Structure 1
Amino acid sequence: MVLLSALCLTTAWGQSKAPKMKSIFNGKTFKNWEVPENNIWWTIHDGILSTKNGPDKKGSILWTKKQYKDFVVQLDFKFGDGTIDTGIFMRGDGEDAPQIQIGESGSLKRDMTGSPYVPKKGYPVEAEGVKELLKMDDWNTIKAQAVGNVYTVWLNGKKVMTYTMEGAKLEGPIGLQLHPGREMAVDFRNISVAKLK
């Protein structure tokens, strides 16, 4: 049993022990992040990073200052008002960099949390078991890993998705999305990253 557990851990992380996570959000300032010009979308209060778009329904992406190759990012999120359509950009945006969805897909009109979205390809795979795991009125923890062209996602401690993408971008920033075209609010906290190489 001990050996089996060790093997599972090795498989999950690609190494003999879980990586050391490093906080990239200090709960007080935008250190480590590229704040959008004329920022009206992102605010910090009581250790929480909040994002909200108003009646104009404009969107925004908050990018890390650093570029990442192989990494795992973990954060807590909590749905606010409106129809939530947000996510985590893995190594930038574009057709070679998937976004891990959090909330409802604007195109599919249903929750796709944990699934990868790729521009012009939609959702190549769908996360499994999310309905039973996702807490609509409380904090959730999502963990997304990128190793080479393989992406893996855990929701509240359970693996829900693995996706291998041909032609994937292998380096870029991490981004948090506020999707345009709708009114919504979402909170983030405890954002941390571990480099795997």
Structure 2
Amino acid sequence: MKASHFLFFILLLCICIPASAQEAKMKKIFNGKNLKGWVEPANKACWTVSDGVLLVKNEPAKKGAILWTEKSYQNFIFQADFMMGDGTVDSGIFLRSENDQIQIGISGSLKRDLTGSPYIPKLRYPVEATGVKDLLKPKDWNTLKIKVIGNTYTAYLNGQEVMTYSSADMPPSGPLGIQLHPGNEMSISYRKIMAVAL
């Protein structure tokens, strides 16, 4: 092997191995049997577990809720499969607090699908995810991956990067949350919910 080829090979290893190692450390934070490791909200009936799937469905009063992890995270990767169900699906993943959320489904304010976009109460949608219309499978399982380093987060939908944003008011540490938006008659399913601290 020529010296130049050997150096190129070593460089590839340096680039590729850390990323692979991070992915290999992904751990299940949902065991598929119950809500162990999560802080159950008051309206427990909205969150049911069966055959490895978490079904999130609004109750008749449509009060909504957030299912938070017991564990807090600083820098991390979160990944989960989701499948939209009945009604007007408006859900998402909260990152360390209720300030920063990655939207899944229809925006209640803009009345259109903004999956993969960040929602911040003061700013609404500061940027919009791109390419989602071609990637999203409305009646099948989708994979959402979110990487958070400091106050910058990147969202990937079905393996493709769709958004990167830096948040000014993001806390340095906090739990992860799955949202059930109030006011909607809706359901959404989640499975293979995983995370890893970086």
Q: What TM-score, normalized by structure 1, do the two folds share? A: 0.90
TM-aligned CA deviation for residue 117 of structure 1:
0.2
Q: Distance in 2 between matches of 1:57 and 1:48?
A: 21
After superposing on structure 2, the runs of 4+ consecutive aligned residues of structure 1 that deviate more than 4 Å are 1-10
Structure with greater helix percent: 2
How much identity, in percent, do the aligned residues show? 54
TM-aligned CA deviation for residue 57 of structure 1:
1.4
Residue deviations 1:138-174, cap 9 Å, x none? 0000001110011000000000000011232110000
Give unpaired runs (5+ residues) of structure 1.
none
CA contact (8 A) 1:29 1:44 kept: yes
TM-aligned CA deviation for residue 37 of structure 1:
2.2
Closer/same/farther in 2, CA of residues 23 and 108 from structure 1, 3 Å limit: same
Give the structure 2 partner of residue 166 of structure 1.
168
Whose Rg is larger? 2
Give the structure 1 partner of residue 5 of structure 2.
none
Q: Distance in 1 between matches of 2:88 and 2:15?
A: 36
Q: Distance in 2 between matches of 1:34 and 1:27?
A: 15
Q: What RMSD in Å do the two structures reach over aligned CA positions?
A: 1.9
- Number of residue equivalences: 189
Closer/same/farther in 2, CA of residues 27 and 75 from structure 1, 3 Å limit: same
Q: Distance in 2 between matches of 1:116 and 1:37?
A: 26
Give unpaired runs (5+ residues) of structure 2.
1-7
Counterpart residue identity of residue 134, structure 2: E
- Which of 37, 44, 53 aligns to 1:32? It is 37
Q: Distance in 1 between matches of 2:35 and 2:71?
A: 13
TM-aligned CA deviation for residue 54 of structure 1:
3.0
Closer/same/farther in 2, CA of residues 90 and 158 from structure 1, 3 Å limit: same
- Which of 50, 71, 76 aligns to 1:71? It is 76
- For the residue of structure 2 that corresponds to 1:40, the secondary structure is helix
